[in-house]
Amino acid sequence: MFPERKVLLVVNPISGDVEKDVIFERVIEKSGSEGYDLRIYSTTGEHDLETIREMAEAIKPERVLVAGGDGTISLVAQALYGLDVVLGIIPAGSANGLSVDFGLSGSVDQALEIAFGENSVCIDAVSINGDISLHLSDIGLNALLVKNYENSETRGKLGYAREMLKTLSEHENFTVRITTEEKVMEMDALIVIIANAQKYGTGVTINPAGDMSDGFFELVIAKKLDFIETAKILAGNTDFNPEIMQVLSVEKAEIECINKEAHFQIDGEYKGMVKHLEAHILKSYIRVAVV
């Protein structure tokens, strides 16, 4: 008799506004119909990385499903690094940027069909000061928005819209020095994005050239808000005005905030104020189930 295949479900119970009981029911049903032995872990915010790693090494699951936002997905990917496992994403965060990039809808049933399907791809990660980013991280305007959103009482897109108005009134540009293998640049910036992917969870394409499996990440540097350059991004056009927007494809970079600290976020998780970041690509970091 063949040993039963195992699947581990990791759930962030406080992410987004998705009803987690529905996810539990669907995963239990799908796992049973696919012949998997299901184990479940709910994150607590305390030693989750170590616990997930220990469970994965003990259980040896064929697949690990993640129900949460981008931060939870990155946490689980870090815990699974180096293990022979497929990561399945169930959108259950506030923005779900990775799900948007992979073409997943908010449907639990659709996500489970893909998570248990045969198609998968190895994607890169970006190490930023030792933390792992699978999606989009940044310093400046959006990081402040993430902070304001985390502290607000309104969830979902309405909450983002309300906090954006507040953020625009609070934010100030900062002076940044960026060092890559090819050049050193110094400028005033509104935002510097460390982009492994293309889209924010709102569906806005901020990095049209992004490919999560190409061995590079992009630095997207916006010096000010500009309607024309924003329209180019939305249209997928990469012919930016260098006085307003620059995009660099790199394997590693050093980012220094010269005149003051700047707000910093990784994959939707606010990390605080920083003055110095070191980022480098980690190729073929994790295998993810895709459409």
Which pLDDT tens digit goes with each residue over 58-78? 999 999 999 988 889 999 999
Give the neighbor-by-neighbor strand order of the sheet with 217-222. Answer: 245-250, 217-222, 191-195, 136-140, 262-266, 269-274
User: Nearest 5 degrees, angle CA 123-CA 125-CA 130?
Assistant: 160
CATH fold of 131-282 reads Tumour Suppressor Smad4 (2.60.200)
> Which H or E element spans position 72?
helix 70-80
Where along the chain do its domains lie?
5-118, 131-282
Identity of residue 35: G
Which pLDDT tens digit goes with each residue over 220-253? 998 876 555 555 554 555 566 777 888 999 999 9
277 CA to centre of own chain: 17
Of residues 22 and 6, the one with the higher pLDDT is 6
Instruction: Give the least confident one: 6-20, 117-131, 159-173, 254-268.
Output: 159-173
> Could you check whether 5-118 and 131-282 share the same CATH topology?
no
For residue 192, the cross-strand partners are: 139, 221
Q: Is the pLDDT of residue 119 over 70?
A: yes
pTM, full prediction = 0.86
Average pLDDT over residues 127-147: 90
Which pLDDT tens digit goes with each residue over 24-57? 999 999 999 999 999 999 999 999 999 999 999 9
Q: Is the pLDDT of residue 166 over 80?
A: no
CATH fold of 5-118 reads Rossmann fold (3.40.50)
Give the whole-number percent of the chain exceeding pLDDT 70. 84
